[in-house]
Amino acid sequence: MLILRNSFLQFLVFKKQQPKKKKKKKRRKEKRNTRIRSHILLFLGAQLLAPFSPVHTYVRLTPRPPINMHHQISPAILYWGTPVVLITSENTDGTSNIAPMSSAWWLGDRCMIGLSSGAHTSKNILRTKQCVLNLPSEDMTAHVNALARTTGANPTSAWKASVGYRYVKDKFAHAKLTPQPSELVVPCRILECPVQMEAELVKVNEMMGDLPERKGSILAMELKILRVYVEDDLRLGGYANRIDSEKWQPLIMCFSEFYGMGKHKLVPSRLAEIDEEAYRSPRKNGVMQVAVADEKTCNDESKDGEHASSLCVLRVS
């Protein structure tokens, strides 16, 4: 009897425990499903919020668009986009010349500029060792356009005359700009330009040394920045020597066209009216080659100075 009673009691206990085990399994299953739903919701939420996050660390739900194919081209110029610089230099008569250019970049307190060795501005800088780099803003296109295709050299070189350049003695008056006295150098600053940098020549490098016919036709000049002036509106609040990058809107030259910090051309550029092919250096088999014109033409243009090298590479020998 005792054995039967114990067996019966064990059976009752077992029956009572059975529903509890099922409930535990059910709760575990519900918890697992809840976790799965939570992970799914978090993942979907991350995808929706990812475009507004400063760091885009998310998995793409849509396939990446196909990559554009690259094609070999042979552009006549490689002006991918740099700030426009109005360089003022001192003429032999003591007046200031203005030359618009965009082959310039800065590193530390130095600026590298690239100019034709025969350019009037190059001769001025080589003679005086001084210049001022004036940076126009994107709202100064009218002034820069007025300076385009003007030269301070008289007589004008044959190449520049062929593409529409003309001699202008007083470029400040011609472009409706105001000369402003400099403090450490002789050439004037340009009052209308928001950024002005007085500079002195440190070193000159002759470019294209691997091409005997063109060696020295282009000069890379290292300039040391002596003093920087900026309009008060460009200064970052709370700092004496920092620029508010959101307020500085430089004028950019990209393939002879004017651009601001946006994506659209500002105004038609007079410089862009010159066919890009006029600047081309002849190429053979995809490699830049130098073609020498007849000796008399080269000698005559060397006397003229400006852009002599360009006229002497018009045809491939």
Q: What is the DSSP string of 239-266?
A: -SS-B-TTT--B-EEETTEEE-SSSSB-
Give residue 291's identity as a one-letter amino acid code: A
Provide the pLDDT for residue 7: 59
**pLDDT for the residue 35:** 80
More confident of the two residues 267 and 12: 267
Identify whether the C-beta of residue 234 lies closer than 8 Å to the C-beta of residue 243. yes
* pLDDT tens digits, 158-185: 878 888 888 888 999 999 999 999 999 9
200-219 b/e (C-beta count within 10 Å ≥ 16 → b): ebeeeeeebeeeebbeebbb
More confident residue, 304 or 256: 256
Among 94, 83, 78, 87, smallest CA distance to 221 is for 87
For residue 97, give both structure tokens: 């010349």
How far from each other are the two terminal CA atoms of the chain, in whole angstroms?
A: 125
Residue 7 backbone zone (phi > 0: left; psi -120 to 50: alpha; other: beta): alpha
State yes or no: pLDDT of 190 exceeds 90: yes
What is the rounded average pLDDT of the residues 117-145?
Answer: 96
pLDDT above 90: residue 233: yes
139 has a pLDDT exceeding 90 = yes
Q: Is the pLDDT of residue 1 over 80?
A: no
The domain segmentation of the chain, as residue ranges, is: 82-231+246-274
The total number of residues written for the chain in this structure: 317
Q: Quick one: what percent of the chain has pLDDT higher than 70?
A: 74
Do 288 and 207 contact (CB within 8 A), yes or no? no
Lowest mean pLDDT of 23-32, 79-88, 120-129, name the range.
23-32
Mean pLDDT of the chain: 80
In this prediction, what percent of the chain has a pLDDT beyond 90? 44
Confidence of residue 272 (pLDDT cuts 50, 70, 90): confident
Q: Is the pLDDT of residue 290 over 60?
A: no
The Cα–Cα gap between 187 and 172 comes to 12
Name the 3-class secondary structure at 234: helix
Q: Output phi, psi for 243, to 5 deg.
A: -100, 135
Query: CA 140 to CA 250: how far, in whole Å?
Result: 10
Per residue in 33-42, pLDDT (tens digit) is 888 877 787 7
Q: What is the CATH number of domain 82-231+246-274?
A: 2.30.110.10
- Residue 146's pLDDT is 94
Confidence class for position 55, pLDDT limits 50, 70, 90: low
> Can you give the pLDDT at residue 65?
73
Confidence of residue 218 (pLDDT cuts 50, 70, 90): very high
What is the average per-residue pLDDT within 202-217?
A: 91
pTM confidence score: 0.65
DSSP at 90: E
- For residue 108, pLDDT beyond 70: yes
State yes or no: pLDDT of 88 exceeds 60: yes
Between these two residues, 153 and 175, which has the higher pLDDT value?
Answer: 175
Q: What is the sign of the dihedral through the CA atoms of 205, 208, 212 and 216?
A: negative
What mean pLDDT do residues 92-105 have? 95
H/E element holding 146?
Answer: helix 141-147
Give the pLDDT confidence score for residue 95 in this predicted structure: 93
